[in-house]
Amino acid sequence: MACSEESNEYWSYDDPSEWPKHFPCAGGSSQSPIDINSNDAVFDSYPLFTFSSKYNSNELFTLTNNGHQVAATLTQRTYGQSDDDLWFTGGGLTGQFFFVNFHLHWGRNDRHGSEHEIDGERFPAEAHFVFKNRQNNQLAVFAFHFVIADQWDEENTEWEKYADAASELVNVNDTMNCSFNLSRLMKANEREYFRYMGSLTTPPCSENVIWTVFIDKIPIVEESLNELRQNLMKKVYRPVQPINDRTVYRNYVN
C-alpha cells in the first residue's frame, strides 16, 4: 500500500476518520495508537536499553510549532552537537537507533489527551520519542503517559520546561531553542513496558513502527497542560485504532 505524502492542509485532529482519503496507510490493518489489554499481553524478556552518554547531559534542542504539535529536534552545529551523539541499542530491538525528535500529545481536558489507552484507561497527555535505524529505516517510538501532579514540586521539571517554552510558540513555524536532559525526560530503563508493531499516529500513518509503551507515569501539573491548550492547540491526539490480529508483548511478569 502506497503512503501519500500530501501536504498538511489535508489533515487535522478535528476529524481523523477522514485521513485515509488522502493518506492510504491511515486505513491499514496495523495502525496506532491502540487500546492495550494488559491481560492479553504476552510476556517476553527483553535486555536493558543501552543509551549513548549524551542522554545523561543537557543538550540544546529546537522546539518547532508545525501546526499539529510542537516537536523538539537536536539543534544542529551548536557546541559541536550532532544527531550521531544520541542513540540507543538493546531492549530487544536489532541495530542502532538514532534520535529523531520528541513531542507531546494532549487533549482539551485532563480526561483524555493520550493516544494509547491501557485497559481502556485514558491519560491527560502522552509523550513520544522517535528514533530511526539508519541501516534499514526502521522507526522505533517510545511512548510515556502522564498523570496530573497535585503539587508543583512533584512535576517532572524537564516537562515543565517543555510546556513553558512550547506554549510561547503561538504561530505555525515559530521556533525556540531550549536545553533538555533526555534521561530525565524518559528514565527508560527504570520502567516496565509493552511492545507491539504499529504505525505513525500522524499522516501519512506509515506502518512498520516498533512501539514501546511504558507503564509508569510521568507527573505534570494541570497548569502546564493548560498553557499548551490555551496558547497552542486544544486537542492533538488520534483516537485508538483496531488492534486486529496483532500481538502485544510485555517485559514484566504479572
Q: Tell me the per-residue pLDDT of 196-245, one tens digit each, with 9 for 90 and over.
A: 999 999 999 999 999 999 999 999 999 999 999 998 888 899 999 999 99
In the numeric block, which cell numbers belong to residue 18?
477522514
pLDDT attached to residue 102: 96
- Residue-wise pLDDT for 42-68, tens only, equals 999 999 999 999 999 999 999 999 999
In a domain, 164, yes or no: yes
In a domain, 2, yes or no: no
Is residue 2 scored above 90 in pLDDT?
Answer: no
| Among the listed residues 137, 111, 115, the one whose alpha carbon sits nearest the alpha carbon of residue 16 | 115
| CATH number of the domain enclosing 119 | 3.10.200.10
pLDDT at 1: 36
pLDDT at 153: 82
Domain housing 82: 27-250
The closest of 105, 115, 144, 139 to 207, measured between CA atoms, is 139
The yes-or-no verdict on residue 252 having pLDDT over 70 is yes
Instruction: Indicate if the pLDDT at residue 6 is higher than 50.
Output: no
C-alpha cell, 214? 511504558
Per-residue pLDDT at 3 exceeds 60: no
Confirm whether 61 is domain-assigned: yes
- What pLDDT shows up at residue 83? 72
Model confidence, pTM: 0.94
Whether 19 is in a domain gets the answer no
Helix ranges, the chain (H): 19-22, 157-166, 182-186, 222-231
Total number of domains in the chain = 1
Q: Is residue 214 part of a domain?
A: yes
In a domain, 18, yes or no: no
Does 58 reside within a domain? yes
Tell me whether residue 171 is exposed, middle or buried, using C-beta atoms within 10 angstroms of its C-beta: 0 to 12, 13 to 18, 19 or more.
exposed
Give domain status of residue 17, yes or no: no
State the DSSP code for 41.
Answer: P
